[in-house]
Chain A
Amino acid sequence: MGWRWFHQWGSPRLFYERAGRWQLVCGWLALILLVAGSLWGLGFAPVDYQQGNSYRIIYLHVPVAFLAQAMYAAMAVCAVVLFVWKMKLADVAMQAIAVMGFAFTALALISGAVWGKPTWGTYWVWDARLTSMLILAFLYLGVIGLRAAIQDPDQAGKACGILVLVGVVNLPIIKYSVEWWNTLHQPASLKLTEKPAMPASMWVPLLVNILGYYIAAAYLVLGSMRAIVLERERRATWVKELVGRA
């Protein structure tokens, strides 16, 4: 089979059709997981002895915050693919992920603020994790703004790629410097290396929701990638036929 599977990614039309099928799978899977995880987490998981019911926002906040960070890494991978293999689809993915990543970061900040009010008594504190989330939001905005400012899509994509790569090198430095600057936040609630401090009845639905949100993010990114492909290929015959049929 060799490199054929790889070169097929160069065809926007093939991607459009395949991504449509994957999107369907992702959509249903995400729906099932999110309904199950959220019902379980919001309705059946035990009440926290300190925070009462307000802790239940973690079933939204934690997955969204994970995604906010993971999407920047995904964007950096796309930038590398764009520069190494000159694959235009990677640029499409970068454009889609930047917008979704910003949306998830904003959602994490907002849900964190809503959670902060009953727990800390204030919507916003200048704590390390909140601050680095805010900086992350600005980094996403920069990528979106840079693309919007440059007209030629190829050029815009490469400029964004450079910015994303510089950003991903800086991100750990930013994170650790902000952490050093101020740490009063409660320690991370889920760590990969340690057993979580929560009982299983609390963290299992969280895990289901995290998986659900990841797949939902894939659904959203695929959908927006398909829209971008259609827009960029609007002069191609297959797009005209497709739009004509619809």
Chain B
Amino acid sequence: MSIEKRMLARELKLIAARPGDIFKPMWFLILVISMVPLALAPDSDLLAEIGSAMIWVATLLALLLNTEHLFQSDFSDGVLEQWLFLDRPLAWLVGLKLVAHWLFHVLPLILITPIAGLMLSVPTEVLIALLITLFVATPALTCFSGLGAALTLGSSRSGILGVLVMMPLFVPVVILAAGVLIRATDGSDTLPLLALLGAFSVVAATLVPIAVSAAIRLNIGGSN
């Protein structure tokens, strides 16, 4: 079995050992969305208007909180150190880890957003646009929050620092996604903005793993 397959199998085993980890971010998302009508008003027109934006922000937060400790257990049990000895570039392994994380932890989060949409009575065509933006944008978000997780690996008292450090970098993604949602509400063409969003994700997925691997190397070098 190749290293790549074994890595994915290991991720699956880890999830099977602690299935609760998948549900916590979904639980968080639905809980935050339930707070919106309570804090605002049960008026469905009002909710529909801000619903898609609220769901986007809540998903962003859920994703960030979920990715914050992405490398922590691999770091403390020495798996990251073993990565350095494999005959694969570290950035490639980091990329695989990010892909696995997206598949097993972010995808479930995206798949639950229609329920959040129903809760806030978001119109169907906007809900579809929301799902598409999340599919296109979350790879970039996952990469950047992975970088935050890697940068704060070495510090035991970082708290949510990784989240705070990376959040400003999400600005273009959030703006472009909001643009898509506004256009979807108007019924105008969303494709150009989606293409830009996709481009951002592709560039992030290509370059950020290199920065992540530098951050990991740094933390492993520092602890010895």
A residues adjacent to B (C-beta < 8 A): 135, 138-139, 141-143, 145-146, 149-152, 154-155, 158-159, 162-163, 165-167, 169-170, 173-174, 177-178, 180-181
Main secondary structure of the interface of B (DSSP, over half): helix
B window 100-150: CB within 8 A of A: 147
A142 vs B166: C-alpha distance when bound (angstroms): 8
Known contacts A138-B168, A155-B218, A166-B211; A149/B175 CB under 8 A: no
Name the residue on A nearest B215 (C-beta): A162
Pick the contact of A178: B167, B171, B208, B211 (CB < 8 A): B171
A181 vs B174: C-alpha distance when bound (angstroms): 10
Pick the contact of A177: B168, B172, B211, B222 (CB < 8 A): B172
For the complex of A and B, 7 pairs with smallest distance between CB atoms: A142-B165, A177-B172, A155-B222, A149-B155, A138-B168, A177-B175, A149-B158
Supplied contacts A149-B161, A152-B154, 17 more A-B pairs, CB within 8 Å: A138-B168, A139-B169, A142-B168, A150-B154, A152-B222, A155-B219, A159-B215, A162-B147, A162-B151, A162-B218, A163-B165, A165-B211, A166-B169, A166-B211, A169-B207, A177-B172, A180-B179
Q: Are A181 and B175 in contact (CB under 8 A)?
A: yes
Residues of A contacting B5 in the complex (Cβ-Cβ under 8 angstroms): none
A159 vs B150: C-alpha distance when bound (angstroms): 9
Query: Shortest distance in angstroms between A159's beta carbon and chain B's nearest beta carbon?
Result: 5
B residues adjacent to A (C-beta < 8 A): 147, 151-152, 154-155, 157-158, 161, 164-169, 171-172, 175-176, 178-179, 200, 207-208, 211, 214-215, 218-219, 221-222
A96 vs B45: C-alpha distance when bound (angstroms): 51
A141 vs B166: C-alpha distance when bound (angstroms): 11
A162 vs B179: C-alpha distance when bound (angstroms): 30
> Which of the listed residues B168, B179, B214, B219 has the most CB atoms from chain A within 10 Å of its own CB?
B168
Residues of B contacting A135 in the complex (Cβ-Cβ under 8 angstroms): 168, 171
A151 vs B214: C-alpha distance when bound (angstroms): 18
Q: Are A139 and B168 in contact (CB under 8 A)?
A: yes
Name the residue on B nearest A145 (C-beta): B161
Q: Are B155 and A151 in contact (CB under 8 A)?
A: yes
Query: Shortest distance in angstroms between A238's beta carbon and chain B's nearest beta carbon?
Result: 27
Q: Are B151 and A180 in contact (CB under 8 A)?
A: no
A180 vs B165: C-alpha distance when bound (angstroms): 24
A149 vs B219: C-alpha distance when bound (angstroms): 13
Residues of A contacting B157 in the complex (Cβ-Cβ under 8 angstroms): 149
Known contacts A152-B222, A155-B154, A155-B219; A166/B171 CB under 8 A: no
Known contacts A142-B165, A158-B218, A166-B211; A177/B154 CB under 8 A: no
Query: Shortest distance in angstroms between A172's beta carbon and chain B's nearest beta carbon?
Result: 10
Name the residue on B nearest A151 (C-beta): B155
User: Can you name 7 A-B pairs with beta carbons within 8 Å?
Assistant: A138-B168, A155-B154, A159-B215, A162-B211, A174-B169, A178-B171, A181-B175
Query: Shortest distance in angstroms between B163's beta carbon and chain A's nearest beta carbon?
Result: 10
Query: Shortest distance in angstroms between B181's beta carbon and chain A's nearest beta carbon?
Result: 13
Residues of B contacting A149 in the complex (Cβ-Cβ under 8 angstroms): 152, 155, 157-158, 161
Residues of B contacting A169 in the complex (Cβ-Cβ under 8 angstroms): 207
Query: Shortest distance in angstroms between A56's beta carbon and chain B's nearest beta carbon?
Result: 32
Q: Are A180 and B168 in contact (CB under 8 A)?
A: no
A154 vs B219: C-alpha distance when bound (angstroms): 11
Residues of A contacting B208 in the complex (Cβ-Cβ under 8 angstroms): 166
